[in-house]
Amino acid sequence: MSEIAATDTDAQPERDAAAQQEDLLRIGDDAYSSRLLIGSSSYPNPQVMMDAIDASGAELVTVAIRRVNVQSPAPESHLDLIRKGGYRVLPNTAGCYTAKEAVLVAQLAREALDTDLIKLEVIGDDETLMPDVEQLLKAAKQLIDDGFTVLAYSNDDPITCRKLADMGCAAVMPLGSPIGSGMGIVNPYNLRIIREVVPDTPLIVDAGIGTASDAAIAMELGYDGILLNTAIAEAQHPVAMARAMRLAVASGRLAYQAGRVPERIYAKASSSMEGRVGS
């Protein structure tokens, strides 16, 4: 029995690796083994940023196009370091408040970085940083028509998310809570509804994640990935938190696939009541 058990144990990592290869995050025409997407701002220094990205296992790193020189990135700039590290850049339209602004920034990113990928953000105000739904939908339609692969940042409204998915966004990214708040998943019920009404388009929780358990909860709800920045960049130990997030996303995904036990109001004994001593 011990030899059989040892053989089975030795084979488990190979089975896990094979399963991971089959369970890829597909966005547009591309597939990624990591379901954690990571931001590139607010780190203590560039070295910590690169170490954290490496520890996270992320393959897509988002960069705010309005805050970097994409046409002539300086040597050792954040953008230059990310590209030299072999990571794929996901440009974003952070800082845009109208559809016109967002479309122009996306076009600049495509020309400078030679990518159709764009994380679309259209913000309504400086206080809440919540999406402006009207402008968001308008920008998403224009960019999709122009051939972009759009990952759209949205509020946690099932109707808005369904509209974004129906118009052809490659991924819809509802917030867990306001940007940079670290409040975690404040409305899991809406996120659950969004998963039901958007069954086929990839869903990625974007904004508000504060710690590893938040990421695991989102993944256990059936989400396809997590995008975060502040939770890692402003942690006391960013590299350690990046590793924790990587494990949480993988754990949450596996738990979702495994299928949790039904929730019950009353207790249910885990051992059979039949054949009890003295019965």
Active-site positions?
A: 119
Residue 207 marked ligand-binding: yes
Q: Which of 162, 103, 111 is nearest to 135 (CA)?
A: 103
Residue 208 marked ligand-binding: yes
> How far is residue 161's CA from residue 211's CA, in Å, rounded to a whole number?
25
Residue 229 marked ligand-binding: yes
Residue 230 marked ligand-binding: yes
The DSSP line for the chain is: -HHHHHHHHHHHHHHHHHHHHHS-EEETTEEES--EEEE-SS-SSHHHHHHHHHHHT-SEEEEEGGGS-SSSPPTT-HHHHHHHTTPEEEEE-TT--SHHHHHHHHHHHHHHH---EEEE--BS-TTT--B-HHHHHHHHHHHHHTT-EEEEEE-S-HHHHHHHHHHT-SEEEE-SSSTT-----S-HHHHHHHHHH-SSS-BEEES---SHHHHHHHHHTT-SEEEESHHHHTSSSHHHHHHHHHHHHHHHHHHHHH-PPPP-SS---SS--TT-TT-
Binding residues for 1-deoxy-D-xylulose 5-phosphate: 180, 207-208, 229-230
